[in-house]
Structure 1
Amino acid sequence: AETVGEGIPIYYSKIEHFFIRHPGGYQLNGTPRVAVWCSADRGEHWERSGYFGVEQSHFLFQAEIDGPHWIRFAGPGQGIVEVPPGMPHRIYVVDRHPPRIEMRVEPAPWYLNEQEQRVPRTYQIGEEVTLHWSVYDAYLVSETIYLGTCFAKFPRNLVWSRFPKALPASGSMRIEIPAESIGGGGLRFRMEATDKAGNVGVAMTEVLRIAGMELAIAEPIGRPVGPSDVIQQTQGTPGPRPGWPNAGAMLRGGTSVVLNWMPESVADYDTVELHFSADDGRTWRAVATGLKPGREARWTVPAVTSKICRLRLVAVAAGGQQTMLAETARFTVDTVLPDTALGPKPLEPAE
């Protein structure tokens, strides 16, 4: 436990009820009971909260307010030499409020036009935005402030990516808007922080609208597709991300695809999987596992027919927590059904 002063332990609770352990292990039968005294004003005033019952190892305490509660025991074995009068044997801090997080994006997602109307701002791919943040909590745990992003609007943004390094309690950073935010329906930032009582604070920015987002998330419409266009993305050309389907690309169901591109963040994780969705991200299935940076990944396009397919790279922690590293825009998968023989079933030859 955390200590203060002359080795006085400090414990934290996120609820008003908590147990105080008996200083001697448990209340012995036939000996005077140990009393529990409490001060909520750092030793200026003390009140007796009660006694340990016979053979009782823990005392159930109820705090009326948040903040530190000094606890002192009175009874057999509680000498005043080790802990001077007026000082606690233990300190229990009640904190029922999560960290407060403030986030601000510049330029702001909304602005006032000439008619003083609030209208959404449209950002460009490659444009840099500045994210400012401040986290407030008296008992904030350092190294627990993390920033995440998601390329979508609710309720489809179930998987958030997370920056691998913890952030300070206040600061700012410049972030370049990635191309993935077009097909996902926009870009959103989220920050989380934890205090010593275990409360988790979460804050999110509004969705940043990206230029071309409306066209990318619409159903792919274009010229008729000929036979030579069907598998144009399966071998990873053209484009700067070999094997990563571009928006509106068409893949043939049942074919094998080689993925030669992965983001640099893959190197920060031990387990990375490739997931496929045929319903615009509502459900996912793993199509390749054990992906490593610098190695090609081969996967088979599922035998489906859908115009709203997506791929994503996901890091999977030991506890099952998923962190999205990259996601494609919508693309199409077309599966050719095998020929079916029609007509009456041939008769068995007569014996």
Structure 2
Amino acid sequence: YIGADGATHYWYEIVSWYKAGKDGGMPSGVLIIIAFIVLAPLLGAMASYLISIWLLNASRKSIYPKIFTVALMIATIWFVYVQMIPYDVITADGKLPRFENSEFWSVAFEPHNIKWFLVASIILIVSTFCLIFSSLNLHQADAALRKMQLVSSAAFSLGHGGNDSQKVMGIIAAAVAVYINANPGIQMDSWLDVVLPSESGAFRMPDWIPLACYTAIAAGTLSGGWKIVKTMGSKITKVTSFEGVAAETAGALTLYFTEHLKIPVSTTHTITGSIIGVGLTKRVSAVRWGVTVSLLWAWVLTIPISALLAAIVYYVLSIFI
């Protein structure tokens, strides 16, 4: 491989192991991705532990959890408002908004704003539940938590699609873009017209790429994987509706955070860490550490084995192409 500096790079030198961020931005590279693969489940575990403690305290008839919840709601609204791109910036330079008749929905569905809108919605919904949690009896609380789990699982599913599908989309788009750049002057059909992000131009990608990725993820989810479901739902620790809400909410927030940093992480690793976090709120022995250690070994081996298989497939294909 001949780099931009004109030098020839061999083997591991081809891989971008570490690249400093521009203007104080987030660095990138394989080492950063590996670091976040480790950090994501830790962040998920920490977030789910704190959310579980919050919910447990909210179930008690005390004024202090309610004061904390109201303060959190105010802080969330303020923080998200500051992070949002306003309507006048969206429509600058004559750019048309997504919804010409609604400033609110144009701001809410701006790509940069969507994740912050979702974060605010999740935190405000959980906060509203915490304000009334102590007034519910056991049956009412369980019924409410089951309904809450629909919201938390939907939020986590959005984080799953926003994180995992973009990995495959990036690989497909990059492969097409590399082919176009390697053959200057070639005219590609519109369904293969890809332009990667750059400082000089906007990113462009055919609609079929994200649709194909979303469809494949949905089909894979529907096709089964019940052994994984059983492992996540009962073998790490017993997950009730209470633990489910805490773990899924923590996992969703973690995925939105890493997606904001443009760092791909494993959805499975993240939710596993979140489930361990809610298990720790009961007691350390509530987590089946034997199963957890087996999962950790699987995580450690995934990257080198995948890299080795990819290298073998590439070598075999290069013989015939």
The TM-score, its normalising length taken from structure 1, stands at 0.20
Name the structure where helix makes up a greater proportion of residues.
2
The TM-score, its normalising length taken from structure 2, stands at 0.21
Which structure exhibits the higher relative contact order, with contacts defined as CA atoms closer than 8 Å and separated by 6 or more residues? 2
Higher Cα Rg: structure 1 or 2? 1
